[in-house]
Structure 1
Amino acid sequence: MQMPELITAIVDDHPIVIEGLKTLLANEENLRITSSFCTGADILAYLLDQPLDLILLDITLPDISGIELCKQIKQISINTRILILSNHTERSIIMQAIQNGASGYLLKNSSIEELRHCIAEAIKGNICYSKEVMEIISRPSKNELQGAPRLTRREKEILALIAAGKTSQIIGQELFLSPLTVDTHRKNLIQKFGVKNVAELVMAATQQQVL
């Protein structure tokens, strides 16, 4: 019994990469590339009218990060599978892409066999990585090696509210603190976990089971 064709789109800001992927995948059975885009806005507009089974997505786009775009694509089309194809090798970026709904992450130097394998796994509903990405995420992060930092009761309260997506203003109202005090706690938490921003803070706290 023949499998139905996977309607596929490529999103990358380099036309030469798009053409290369089209050529590589031209003879793949059960996969049909129907469209390609260079911006996040274009793929989101397309998805409002046309369903897609699979999107091959770059992270570096001119109008939006591919990581954020993952989340927005899933909000429009929950059943669309997204495979990230990127040159970014930072562990935090890989993990955030998966958290935002990607079904897999491959580096652009991956082989066609790895790409085929990840497409097949993504369509089955599994999460898949290229070999090099697997090696990156299997290494413990700096935060994991250091262990979870010691937090005060107030820091734990504020961390939980930050993870819930609440602003300093709202957190201040709920805990009867000034927004400035909340911001100070936020900066202290970022410093204690050794991260750069709130997204990394929440990820590190989740990995270390503080949240």
Structure 2
Amino acid sequence: MTLPTRVLLVDDHPMVVAGLRALLAPMPALEVVATAGTAAEAYTAVAAHRPDVVLLDISLPDESGLDVCGRLVSEYPGLKILALTTLNEKSYVTRMMAQGAAGYVLKNASPEELAEAIARVQAGKKYFSEEVQELLLQPEPARAAVPPLTRREKEVLGFIAQGQTSQEIADRLFLSALTVETHRRNLLAKFEVNNTAALIRLAAQHQLL
């Protein structure tokens, strides 16, 4: 006789935990061995009950589910972590997978889908909700090309990032303040931004600072 898959529920909302218990209770292939409302409780529960699969919410009050996932996978290599969350964003999916999660399911999943997800990850496979699969298939947004800058523009940009005024930059570079203002306008135009804060942010993204 096949033993049921032992499941730990980790979510800080009691109503969600109660709902999950009610959904999984009629399924003979699954057994909820414990629940936890915080990361600390999750660590204790895993150590005490040694579940096969952890249904893990990402948003916990004391620690991110991302960090919880990484720690549990590191300490219990055979443990399967299945993210169960409302966070339908590609960055969360990729970060959870990087931490060793076996799957990612949204909380609007049906009982049948949830049971299938648990069975799949327990069998050593990956599982993603259909909406999550669509997210993962979306192409990454194209990164804007770095605008070509002259040596002087790079120098001026560096001083702008330090918060120096046009007059201060002019004094440092032995230029007129009018010339520095021209370089400022050219930098704003090349980066297609309207203010200094946006200019600095984009320059930092392009690793020019």
Superposed counterparts of 1:1-211, under 5 Å: 2-142=1-141, 145-146=142-143, 191-192=205-206
Offset at 1:46? 2.5
- Residue 178 (structure 1) aligns with: none
CA distance in 2, matches of 1:188, 1:147: 10
Offset at 1:48? 2.6
Q: 1:189 to 1:111 in 2, by over 3 A?
A: farther
Q: Write out per-residue CA displacement over residues 74-124 of structure 1, whole angstroms, 9 at most, x where no aligned residue.
A: 122111111111111110110110110111001111122221221111011
Q: Which amino acid aligns with 1:135?
A: E
Q: Which amino acid aligns with 1:79?
A: G
SS in 1 for 2:81: strand
Give unmatched runs, 5+ long, in structure 2.
Answer: 148-200
- Residue 197 (structure 2) aligns with: none
Offset at 1:22? 0.4
CA distance in 1, matches of 2:145, 2:95: 19
Identity %: 33
Offset at 1:50? 2.9
SS in 2 for 1:85: strand
Q: Which amino acid aligns with 1:39?
A: T
Offset at 1:8? 0.9
Offset at 1:138? 0.9
- Residue 181 (structure 2) aligns with: none
- Residue 175 (structure 1) aligns with: none
What's the Cα RMSD here?
A: 2.2
Asked if the contact 2:35–2:45 (Cα under 8 Å) also holds between the matched residues in 1, the reply is no
TM-score by length of 1: 0.67
CA distance in 2, matches of 1:11, 1:148: 43
Q: Write out per-residue CA displacement over residues 16-60 of structure 1, whole angstroms, 9 at most, x where no aligned residue.
A: 000000000111122100110100011112223331101111000
CA distance in 1, matches of 2:89, 2:66: 13
CA distance in 2, matches of 1:102, 1:148: 34
Q: Which amino acid aligns with 1:128?
A: Y
TM-score by length of 2: 0.68
Q: Which amino acid aligns with 1:43?
A: A
- Residue 164 (structure 2) aligns with: none
CA distance in 1, matches of 2:108, 2:204: 33
Q: Which amino acid aligns with 1:32?
A: E
CA distance in 2, matches of 1:55, 1:28: 16
Offset at 1:130? 0.7
